Structure 1
Amino acid sequence: MNRMENEQKILIVNQYQEKLSSTPEQGQKEQSIQDFLERNTELFSEALTYKNYFHQDILISKCPVMDLKSDYAYLSKKSDEWKIVFGELELPDYNFFRKGSGDFTSEFNHAINQIRQWKLRIKNNQNEVFNFFKLLLQPESMRENPIVFEFELIFGRSEDKNKTAERLRLIQSVSQSEGIVIKSFDTISNDFMGRRENTRKNVISYNGKSIRYKHLNTRPTWDFALYNSEQLIVSPEQRKVLVSWGYDMNSWDLGKKLGQNGKVSPENPFEGMLRKRNISSTKSN
């Protein structure tokens, strides 16, 4: 990492810490923090992903599965399996433990219980969950692969969480027994500073039928090879940005597939990339 990159990371973390300590209008802080994270998506850890990447470099904002709505979700894949991670943001002002006690606060218990209910609903409605995410399970040839689900809770501050070894043990026990990754808001920035590579992700709104960019934070790699203009909705402002990046949007409007460079490809470029990768893997074996 060069000096400029490190200074940029420090700037992001300082702004993030200011956001955590801010006092916006009542009821607006959680959303204010989520907005900041969605515009600085390199803060999101890739620890739960396969091969350290988000599928298509996409983060789903306010993911509405059935009657549930997680604050965010993302996909990751390997050759024989999909992973879908659901995340919940609570307030950094919340405490894990009641004052002067080893008992968890009502806010922490409520957050754990909410995710517990998600897990049960998803377990009992896997066909409905699959149908919701089906469009994002690309390429189509991998849609029959099994899906595993993981759950992440971001809650409170490290000062409270790490106060004693006993507190850490109790939180770890809940994490393991409930199958929920539990992090403080400070863990996000600490992990970010400790990673050598941090990739930006595009933030989307997704309803199971179509995709809309909420924040176009980086150049899409395969989106315009995989989706047509009815599946991927692009605003006029986003279209201007994409054209300035070299994407042949007129051809895409006509139903043509675009490669990584945003230019028209004679075949589905995503499938072509996978075929070349499989040939290379066969030769190496």
Structure 2
Amino acid sequence: MKLEFDEELEKAFIAILESPAPEGKKKELVVHEFIERNPELIPTPNLLNHHLHFGVVVSKFPLDTSLETDYVYLTKSSDTWKVTFVELEVPDKKMFTNNKKQVDTSSDFNKAIAQVRSWQVFIEENKLEVMRRLNPIFYPIVMRRNPVEFDYQLIIGRSDEKNESPERIKILNRLRKETGINIMTYDTLLNYYRNSERYKKDILSLSKNKMKFKYIHTNSTMLFSYVSKDEFILTSNQKESFKLKGYEIDEWEQGKSLAVNGKQTMKNFSLSCTLDP
């Protein structure tokens, strides 16, 4: 469902970006938490024609034990998948040094680029393992044979810094081409929120090769048409909540697909149609 622009949400997010983190908390985590609780702020600029896969974003997706993304999301067309990995850096981090004689990128920015490039190298060498970790939402199975493209985003800093000179903009554009990383500032993120389609997304996380909901923000999901109880974890409260919305969770837990509108088994739907006068 498309959302109207929320000026108060925008102001609250800008305040977080421009304020120090509360004592005892890291600002990066504060920003991450705010975005996940307000997922209409998460930009998905490279969607294919089937839109955001299952309407979900996976938080803190691990590539392996030492490499962890801030989030990942999938999108597909009839013949291609695209998987996007995103790194969130602290908005206070500078992209450039204060060198007045020449334009140099900062050590913080260089480290962030190196982090994402390490993902690229790992995924190039371990594609099958990375996709295996995504199997709980990598449906339908028949489409797993289709080609998979990988995309990388880095969100860091503020646009005022990069806009200080044309040279800085040129350097960032060149880095985007050379690295294959979509470098965005938090102001770019805000521009997506202001000017692009706004919609809620459910937030998942991976736990011991199973997916689970971290935050449920939407009123409906098609996940239960595909994923099984062996791949997806529901808490007791989540089960009851879905039941109240008409999902046949007891049937799903018995290994049956909720193929009709993501809520009912085909058998029960057919039976209800037969009984309906």
The two structures have a TM-score, normalised by structure 2, of 0.89
SS in 2 for 1:69: coil
Q: Deviations over 1:22-68 (max 9, x none)?
A: 21235511011111111111112221111272111110100011231
Distance between the aligned counterparts of 1:267 and 1:126, measured in 2? 40
Q: CA deviation at 1:256?
A: 2.4
Aligned position for 1:88? 87
Task: Give yes or no for the alignment of 1:252 onto 2:252.
Answer: yes
1:20 aligns with 2:17: yes
Per-residue CA deviations over 1:227-250 (Å, capped at 9, x if unaligned) read 222211111222232223222222
* Residues 11/244 of structure 1: CA separation in 2 closer, same or farther (3 Å cut): farther
Structure 1: which 5+ runs fail to align?
269-285
Structure with higher helix content: 1
Distance 2:171 2:53 in 1: 33
Query: Which residue matches 2:275?
Result: none
RMSD: 2.2
Aligned residues: 264
Whole-angstrom CA distance in 2 between matches of 1:208 and 1:172: 39
- Aligned CA distance change for structure 1 residues 261 and 119 (closer, same or farther; 3 Å): closer
1:109-258 → structure 2 map (5 Å cutoff): 109-195=110-196, 197-207=197-207, 209-258=209-258
* Aligned match of 1:10: 7
Which residue matches 2:97?
98
Amino acid in structure 1 at the alignment position of 2:88: L
C-alpha distance in structure 2 between counterparts of 1:208 and 1:119, whole Å: 23
Secondary structure of the residue aligned to 2:61 is strand
Q: TM-score, normalised by structure 1?
A: 0.86
Q: Report the 3-state secondary structure (helix = DSSP H, G, I; strand = E; otherwise coil) of the residue aligned with 1:86.
A: strand
Please state how far the C-alpha of 1:208 moved relative to its aligned partner. 6.8
Deviations 1:118-163 (A, max 9, x none): 1111111122223222332200000111111110000001111222
AA matched with 1:105: S
Structure 1 contact 133–208 (Cα < 8 Å) conserved? no
Which structure 2 residue ranges, 5 or more long, are not aligned? 270-277
Q: Which amino acid aligns with 2:87?
A: E
Q: CA deviation at 1:186?
A: 1.2
1:283 corresponds to: none
SS in 1 for 2:82: strand
Within a 5 Å distance, the mapping from 1:257-276 to structure 2 comes to: 257-258=257-258, 259-260=260-261, 262-266=263-267
Worse-matched range after superposition: 93-102 or 68-77: 93-102
Contact 2:222 2:262 in 1 (8 A): no
- Provide the rounded CA distance (Å) in 1 between the counterparts of 2:70 and 2:169: 25
Matched to 1:15, the amino acid is A
Question: Contact 2:136–2:211 (CA<8 Å) still a contact in 1?
Answer: no
Identity of aligned residues (%): 31
Secondary structure of the equivalent of 2:145? coil
| 1:261/1:125 CA distance change after superposition, 3 Å | closer
State the shift of 1:209 in Å. 2.4
Asked whether the 8 Å contact 2:223–2:262 carries over to 1, the reply is no
1:65-99 CA-to-partner distances (Å, cap 9, x unmatched) read 12310010011111111111000000000111112
